[in-house]
Amino acid sequence: MASHDPALWTRVDDYLAGALLPHDAALDAALAASHAAGLPAIAVSAMQGRMLEVFARMLNARRILEIGTLGGYSTLWLARGLAADGHVVTLESDPRHAQVAQDNFTRAGMAARITLRLGLAADTLAALQRDGTGPFDLVFIDADKASLREYVQAALALSRPGTLIVADNVIRDGAVIDAASTDASVQGVRRMNDYVAQEPRLAATALQTVGAKGYDGFALMVVKS
Ligand code: SAH
Ligand code: DHB
Ligand code: MG
C-alpha cells in the first residue's frame, strides 16, 4: 500500500466515486460513447468532474465557459452544477470530437443547456469578446496546453470580479519545475504562471493531484474585486 503507487491512487478514486458520487447513467454513457468512437481517454476523472460541479454550485453559476470539449464528459459535469436557468458554452476544434460531444449532450437531455462552438479556441474566444458575450461565472481551460497563457488572458477578458478560472494539467508528472524543458505543454504552463504572477486582477493557486489520471494538478484563479 505504498502511498506513491499509481494503482492505489486509482483504487482510492474508485472507492471515493462509489462512496460519494450518485450513479449517473448519462455521464457513464458519454464516456462509453467517447471510448467507442475512439476518442483518447483523457477526460477528467469522475471525482475531478464532480469537483467542477461543486465549483459551479459554489458560484451559483449561470454562465460557464469551457475550452476543450473532447466528448463532453467534463461539460456534462459542469452542466450538472448550473443554476436553473444557466448555460454552458464549450469550445472544440476537432469536428469528430464535437460530433461525439453533441450526441452525448442530446442523449443526456442537456442539448438545450449547452452550446458547442466548433473552431480553434483562439478564434472563438476572439469572437465571444467581439460579440460582448459574458461575463462568465466559471471558466474551465482544458485544451492545448501551449496556449494556456492566451486562454487565461481571454478568460479574464470574459470575466467579472469573482469569476473562477480553472486550468487542468498544470503539474504534468512534476515536469513543470523544469525551466529548460523542451515540452511545449510544460512551457505553456510556465508561461501561464509567469503571466498570472504579474496580473494584479488575479489571485491564483495550484493544487497537485493524484488519482485515476496519475500525478497532475489544477490551477485555480479568481478575479479579484
Ligand atoms: N475537457 C475534456 C477533455 C478535453 S481534451 C474532458 O475533461 O472531458 C482537449 C480537447 O481540446 C480535445 O478534444 C482537443 O481536440 C481540443 N483542442 C485542442 N486544441 C484546441 C484548440 N486550439 N481549440 C479548441 N479545441 C482544442
Ligand atoms: C491530455 C490532455 C488533457 O486535457 C488531460 O487532462 C490529460 C492528457 C493529453 O493531451 O494527453
Ligand atoms: Mg485535461
- Residue 102: pLDDT band (50, 70, 90) is very high
Give the ligand with the smallest distance to the CA of 213: 2
Residues 6+ apart with CB under 8 A from 140: 52, 64, 65, 66, 67, 74, 78, 166, 168
Pocket test for ligand 2, best of 31, 34, 42, 75 (most atoms within 8 A of CB): 42
Quick one: CA dihedral 74, 136, 149, 111, positive or negative? positive
Pocket test for ligand 2, best of 169, 189, 209, 210 (most atoms within 8 A of CB): 169
Helices (H), 24-173: 25-36, 46-58, 73-80, 95-107, 121-130, 148-157
Going by alpha carbons, the residue nearest to atom 1 of ligand 2 is 42
Pocket test for ligand 1, best of 48, 52, 69 (most atoms within 8 A of CB): 69
- Residue 7: pLDDT band (50, 70, 90) is very high
Beta bridge partners of 67: 91, 141
Give the ligand with the smallest distance to the CA of 184: 2
Beta bridge partners of 110: none
- Measured in Å, residue 31 CA sits from the centre of ligand 3 at 15
| Single pTM value for the model | 0.98
Give the ligand with the smallest distance to the CA of 71: 1
CA distance 221 to 170: 13
In the block, residue with C-alpha cell 453559476: 61
Q: What percent of the chain has pLDDT over 90?
A: 98
Q: Is 118 in the pocket of ligand 2 (CB under 6 A)?
A: no
| Structure-block grid coordinates of residue 170 | 498544470
Q: Looking at residue 95, what is its pLDDT?
A: 98
- Residue 1: pLDDT band (50, 70, 90) is low
Q: Is 94 in the pocket of ligand 1 (CB under 6 A)?
A: yes
CA distance 98 to 92: 6
Q: What is the pLDDT of residues 123-135, one digit of tens each?
A: 999 999 999 999 9
Supply φ then ψ for residue 116, to 5 degrees.
-95, 125
- Measured in Å, residue 136 CA sits from the centre of ligand 2 at 24
Going by alpha carbons, the residue nearest to atom 7 of ligand 2 is 42
CA distance 207 to 72: 24
Assess contact for 114 and 82: CB atoms under 8 A.
Answer: no
DSSP 55-77: HHHHTT-SEEEEE--TTSHHHHH
Q: What is the pLDDT of residues 31-86, one digit of tens each?
A: 999 999 999 999 999 999 999 999 999 999 999 999 999 999 999 999 999 999 99
| Structure-block grid coordinates of residue 179 | 525551466
Q: What is the pLDDT of residues 167-181, one digit of tens each?
A: 999 999 999 999 999
